[in-house]
Structure 1
Amino acid sequence: MTQSLLHDLSAVEGFIFDIDGTLALADRMLSGYQPLPGAIELINLLNQRQTPYVAFTNGSTKTPAQLAKALTSAGILVKPERTLTPPAVAVSLFKSRQYKRLLVLGVEGVWRPFEEAGFDIVVSPERADDADAVLVGWHPEFRLDDLDAACRAIWAGANLYTVSTAPYLASREGRTLGISGALTAAISSVTGKEAVIVGKPASIAFDVARGILGVEASRIAIVGDDLSLENAMAQQGGAVSVAVHTGLATPEDIDRLPPGQQPHFSIAGVNDLLEMIR
């Protein structure tokens, strides 16, 4: 375990946890969570202490409520109001931009939060050439018609958003393809339109998570396995970065980062974090 002398976890008042590769591992279709060592005990401890936290995944297979149910079924007792997904972040952003009509590429976990928030939703491959925005999410059964619908909406003036551009994520089977990133790359290559990320590490994602916590940025610890997501969001947002080695990042990966970009804490897993805050 390594840590910076400039940061002390005793000053942390709230946590943002990644899920895949940090609290749990799923199969390559992101179902069937299995908790990682220490995850159940850590969340139980935070619940007992009433310490605010958010379980934040860039995955969009599930709504926040469905995600909470899946985690709880695996023994990680997280309430729906303590879960966050990129579509839930996008709801806040799209309301601020006064969008009304959306074209969504993805499964129920992608489009359901917008429907519940009152947006006019069209799900590809149905076309919506008059859409204000196109959002790309988890869509393992995508076809050419989905890409065609997205491109036509963008050519007609829609803005392009994505839950993530990460090329892969951690699962029990090792690296799993980041489908939203692949689809976004295809759409951008055809339209020339750069996508706005609504998941980690975007500042809007951190702002929404921080709003749930009600804690100032410097007193938040962001815990995750992906240096380009959780560590980057912590560095950009002025939070404490805690990198775990149970997913994508290895100690060697962390050592290769420039000094100013390295996480403040590098630990084997959340079981170490549990011992650090007890």
Structure 2
Amino acid sequence: MNRPSTARHIEGVRGFIFDIDGTLALGDRLLNGYQALPGAIELIDLLTQRNIPFVAFTNGSTKTPAQLSAALGQAGIHIDASRAITPPRVAVSLFQQEKYKRILVLGTPGVWQPLADAGFDVVVSPEKANDVDAVFIGWYPEFRLADIEAAAQAVWGGAKLYTVSTAPFLATKEGRSIGISHAITAAVQSVTNAPVSIVGKPSPHAFELARSLLNMDAAQIAIVGDDLTLEHAMALQEGALSIAVHSGLASISEIEKLAPGQQPHLSLAGVEQLLEILR
């Protein structure tokens, strides 16, 4: 790690967007039982003490922001629920902009509860509803054929198709785990041929919500994450600083294979090295 070089890269940063799984913490395959990764507790405490704005953004949808905040707190990572972003939180903002009223959801309460709390008329699959404005797919490991059929019927009826993520994998304590929303979305698309909109990372909708919470320009934001197709891709497309860590999915060899101009601005072993820089 070249300190003069890293200092030049990070000197303009005023706020941070942190990934969670593989960056700040690791959970099990059901995204429970978080354990803080080295440096994560101290880094978040340091930013809080210095009043440096940050948000924690997961593409997981097992928990509401309040539940996510509580789960991370049990691991010693203290992040207020107002700073915790999940794709359903992004969906609330997007669906309000689109003036949707009724949503068919394929997912557990962490997926549909934020929508219901925001006042949407939520139909939870496998209940069928062919008069919905949108179909929203999230964390749903118990999905069955009836859920795919309910989603397909709604799409054929004119509903728009949305998903929290199409990332095929996520980092867990046990290694790579299959992205459930990716699998369900692929199944629905295979029978409907419908275009799908992603509401989680790396979508512009996701970044805009995070940026608005930080209340600063993209050039002042560093996005820290372990997935080159999510956090790094979002940083490149939005003009933010990309900090890749090797504590989850991305390896040093994968990063080095990226073309010049497509590599992260900083490549670190983990957030403990970012802590060293900021200290």
TM-score after normalising by structure 2:
0.98
Q: Deviations over 1:43-76 (max 9, x none)?
A: 0001101111000000000000000000011100
Residue 46 of structure 2 corresponds to which residue in structure 1? 45
Separation of aligned partners in 1, 2:209 and 2:88: 11
Tell me by how many angstroms 1:2 deviates.
Answer: 6.0
Tell me by how many angstroms 1:206 deviates.
Answer: 0.3
Residue 35 of structure 1 corresponds to which residue in structure 2? 36
Q: Is the 8 A contact 1:200 1:233 kept in 2?
A: yes
Tell me by how many angstroms 1:10 deviates.
Answer: 2.1
Tell me by how many angstroms 1:260 deviates.
Answer: 1.6
Residue 217 of structure 1 corresponds to which residue in structure 2? 218
Letter paired with 1:128: A
Pick closer, same or farther for the CA change 1:193–1:274 going to 2, 3 Å: same
Separation of aligned partners in 2, 1:218 and 1:58: 23
Residue 235 of structure 2 corresponds to which residue in structure 1? 234
Separation of aligned partners in 2, 1:129 and 1:259: 48
Q: Deviations over 1:176-208 (max 9, x none)?
A: 010000100110110000210000000110000
Secondary structure at the aligned position of 2:11 is classed as helix
Q: Deviations over 1:56-114 (max 9, x none)?
A: 00000000000000001110010000100001001111000000000000011100000
Residue 167 of structure 1 corresponds to which residue in structure 2? 168
Separation of aligned partners in 1, 2:236 and 2:179: 23
Letter paired with 2:70: K
**Which blocks of at least 5 consecutive residues in structure 2 are unaligned?**
none
Residue 142 of structure 2 corresponds to which residue in structure 1? 141
Separation of aligned partners in 2, 1:109 and 1:39: 24
Q: Is the 8 A contact 1:2 1:265 kept in 2?
A: no
Pick closer, same or farther for the CA change 1:163–1:47 going to 2, 3 Å: same
Q: What is the percent sequence identity of the aligned residues?
A: 63
Q: Deviations over 1:129-154 (max 9, x none)?
A: 10000000000000111100000000
Letter paired with 1:112: Q
Q: Deviations over 1:206-254 (max 9, x none)?
A: 0000000011100100000000000000000000000000000001000
TM-score after normalising by structure 1:
0.98
Letter paired with 2:100: Y
Aligned length: 278
Root-mean-square deviation over aligned CA pairs: 1.2
Letter paired with 1:42: L
Pick closer, same or farther for the CA change 1:274–1:5 going to 2, 3 Å: closer
Letter paired with 1:178: G
Q: Is the 8 A contact 1:2 1:266 kept in 2?
A: no
Separation of aligned partners in 1, 2:102 and 2:8: 45
